[in-house]
Copies of this chain bind each other. A is one copy, B any other.
Amino acid sequence: MKGLVFFSLLASIFVLGFLQESVHGRPSLMSLPKPRRDDSAAFARWLVSQNSWGVLSTVSSDWGGAPFGNVVSFSDGLPDKGKGIPYFYLTTLDPTASNALKDQRSSLSLSEYNIGTCGNKDPELPTCAKITLVGKLKLIEGTKEAEIARAALFAKHADMKRWPKSHNFQVYKLDIENIFMINWFGGPKPITVEQYLQAKLNKPALTVA
């Protein structure tokens, strides 16, 4: 009986500890270790690989060329095997896709906050990392890359397989041209697209709080 009490109390304490963590911050969704913050290209790739949705901005043809952000899901590859290129599954029933078909200029914005590793930090603080990939949003349906993209999307968003055929969802990619990332004090880190695409994530990295 004493053992049962001890176990129950221990379980309560453990679970209450987790509860406090998840109420104050966010439960961590991280599946790959966070790279060192000075390994900028790997850090950027980690931010993209560990997020699964964000805001995709296009030039609004409806609203006088206004920059139009829209909440979308994305995938940069099979889980923890992403290559850094964001793929999307979009319908022209939604303005983002139809904007992109008229003007490809676009950007995808993500926060470390959604990975759950910012704790209580304000998402605007430079110590809670953020990234914006700026480039061209391109329809790639029908290409070989689209098949890789579709597998990447369905692996992270199983629900997409069931989205209505009548809506004509198609695969798009963001062709990255510029990278804006802040993951510490001192302003955005200079990262070239080449450095970003070549960064390796699959070796265990030193975790930095």
Contacts and interface: CB of A to CB of B under 8 A. Distances in A.
Q: Chain A interface mostly helix, strand, loop or mixed?
A: mixed
Contacts of A70: 109, 130, 132, 180
Contact of A12 (B15, B69, B72, B110): B15
B22 A68 contact: no
A98 to B, nearest CB: 13
Contacts of A132: 68-71
A50 interface: no
Interface in A87-118: 89, 93, 95, 105-111, 113-114
Interface in A40-95: 53-60, 63-73, 89, 93, 95
Contact of A134 (B53, B66, B114, B122): B66
